[in-house]
Chains A and B, each alone.
Chain A
Amino acid sequence: MKGEKYLNPSRIPSIWCPGCGNGIILHAVLATLEDLNIKQEDLILVSGIGCSSRSPTYTIFDNIHTLHGRAIPIATAIKLVQPGKKVIVMTGDGDSMAIGGNHIIHAARRNIDISVIIFNNSIYGMTGGQFSPMTPSGKKATTAHLGNIEEPFDTMKLLKGAGANYLARIGTYYYSQMMKYMKTAFTHNGFSAVEVIAQCPVYYGRMNQYPTPYDLLMWQKDNLVFKTQFEKMAEHEIIGKMEIGEFVNENRPSFLEKRQAQLERMIQK
């Protein structure tokens, strides 16, 4: 099947729980890469720490599994040292928005030419189910037994404010749409990020009354609303819903383009 050729057979089956959304995202990434005709030597994958960050290790690509929260400055350096390669970061909601929050904001601000796939399962899965900066308010976690009283980030608004060129949000329920946004992200210049809402059935699901992985996908079907529809909904209708779609699609010059342009200007003077 599409994307399978990029899997490293000596490393699967993955450590992910049955029904985990991470595998669906990995599948979409690899299928998109096959559509783009990416060869092994064209790409470097970078990840942090967490369940989602195991994704690159299951592939045949050059990959670097780094420190919690630090995938993005490492990806920045790799892109600057190997500008001819594609660099894709696979990270989680805790990895990119808690400990890594500062770094993703600056990478977006610099408009560094990397693509970031944020596996957002709204929980810290690897460490056993603690709440993250992306856990919806009111939801339960092992460190929020009465329910999370904090509000989650809106990554799209945050990274738009920071200056990203391309931003999209989707869910694992929408496989084809996910591939479409990933394809745009991977071929877009500057900083691009696709946030994918994913299911964590074992922790988030069980602690929040979603008994099966399918129940979590059904939540997505009922509560992820595409932009055009979301914009038409009344205030009381959007409670509990999440907007999905493409939020930013700009063509501001990337970091490398600006550096090149600066040197060109110096020569022309």
Chain B
Amino acid sequence: MEPHIQVRNLSVWYEGGHLALREVTLDIPRRQITVIIGPSGCGKTTLLKSLNRFLELSDGTRLSGQVLIDGEDIYAPGVDVTEIRKKVGLLAQRPFPLPMSIYENVAYGLRIHRLKKGRELERAVRHYLEVAGLWEEVKDRLHQPASRLSIGQQQRLCLARGLAVEPEILLGDEVTSALDPISAQHIEKRLLELKQDYTIVLVTHILRQAKRLADYVVFMYMGEVIEAGPAAEVFVNPRQERTRAYLEGQF
């Protein structure tokens, strides 16, 4: 099967010329969970943020190479960045609900992309809250401020909100690191369900979480991809010495 995302010779420089990614080439499989691991500062988050063109939000970032999604370069001139971000959803490290009600948080994306309205909108909001596993907890207070939810609930709301714009790819940047263990488990469970329909790319520094979730693993070190492959191979029998050292906890 053709990979969903193809990264080709991608290099990224931050302001001041610091090289964050060096000639990264990588294939990310469709409808699987790909987990990017590596010590802090190795470029995991930079790689993730290159996939929804979030790098350009910081001043002075430069980039060369290509990121192809379904074979199309998302950095090609004339590409509509809002279309890319609609297709590639992002779940952030810390949940940030929009300053509106629970209902409106999910409806927001549907409204700006004019996907649904009226009764259909209501049904869609309910559907995505159900998928994120939040519906039962909020169905009686849909019109209350989202900021009143617990942080674990907020993260699931952010998941529902992200799914509502009908993405194909879901990026996650250490999505459980701000959460308590129970909420973290909730989110992990959702992600495992969602991989049937979505290509999921996660960054984590928790090795055990990577082992629980990953179908495909990418190990990065100092801005380079050292090794990438099916989880069963990389975790059990890494080909590279540095991967083995990292997995054994030597970093």
Chain B associates with chain A: no
Residues of B within 8 A of A (CB): none
